[in-house]
Amino acid sequence: MSKIFKIVLILLIVASMTSAVLAVFAYIGKEREYMKRLLLEDKLAATLKDKRRLEKEIDVNKKAKEEAERRVKEIETKAEKLSLQMGKEKDKTKVLLLNLASRKEEVIKLKDNLDKEEKEKLAISKKLEELQIDYDTARRNITKLKSEKIRLEKDLSQLKESSVKLDKIVVKPTQTTAVSETLASPKGLLRGRVLVVNRDYSFIVVDLGKNDGIKKGIV
């Protein structure tokens, strides 16, 4: 073999080895790129998955936020209504307190009036008891007077039976007896007659009396 052929063969071998090395390096590079791409795809998939999860969470949080805002608005509306109701209730409470104070004053007045009425009732009750006693006494006196009247009428009837016929009597009224003057005869005299003469007690019974204008002091 010639020297040139050896050199060429060596160069071809070196070139082949270089190509093989380059091919290996290229393959390794491609493998690395492939692995990197796989890693990137995995990361992208995980990122997309996280993105979807985050989007769902965002949607859920957004809905929760909207629901919370809606509830807050409802609570605020209810709070405003409650505030208005509290204001009305406060006004009603003030009116009720004023009415209560007025009622208390009325109750105090009524209590005082009841105490007065109770005292008056006791006084009236006491007075009624006294009047009842007086009434009972008067009834007893009336009963006694009726009995006395019956007795006197009996005595009178007996006296009438034993009486004698006497002359007429004339009663002359005094100047202060206007009724006697009104009821008097044209001559200013009342004419009657004696019915009974009681000698034991020195009195007489005549047919003139109060209805005829007879009063104490007439002669």
Sole residue written with tokens 């010639």: 2
Alpha helices in the chain (DSSP H): 3-162, 178-183
The predicted-structure confidence for 14-27, as pLDDT tens digits, reads as follows 888 887 887 887 88
- pTM of the complete model: 0.30
Question: Which residues, at least 6 apart from 125, have a Cβ–Cβ distance to it below 8 Å?
Answer: none
Task: Write down the pLDDT at residue 26.
Answer: 80
Strand partners, 196: 205
Distance CA 190, CA 175 (A): 14
Q: What tokens were used for 146? A: 């009726």
pLDDT at 173 over 60: no
Contact 190, 173 (CB under 8 A): yes
4-13, 48-57, 93-102, 203-212: range with lowest mean pLDDT: 4-13
For the segment 179-193, the average pLDDT, to the nearest whole number, is 57
pLDDT at 186 over 50: no
Give the strands of the sheet with 190-198, arranged side by side.
168-171, 190-198, 203-206
Distance CA 105, CA 100 (A): 9
The predicted-structure confidence for 110-145, as pLDDT tens digits, reads as follows 888 888 888 888 888 888 888 889 888 888 888 888
pLDDT at 176 over 60: no
Task: Write down the pLDDT at residue 182.
Answer: 41
Sole residue written with tokens 């406060």: 90
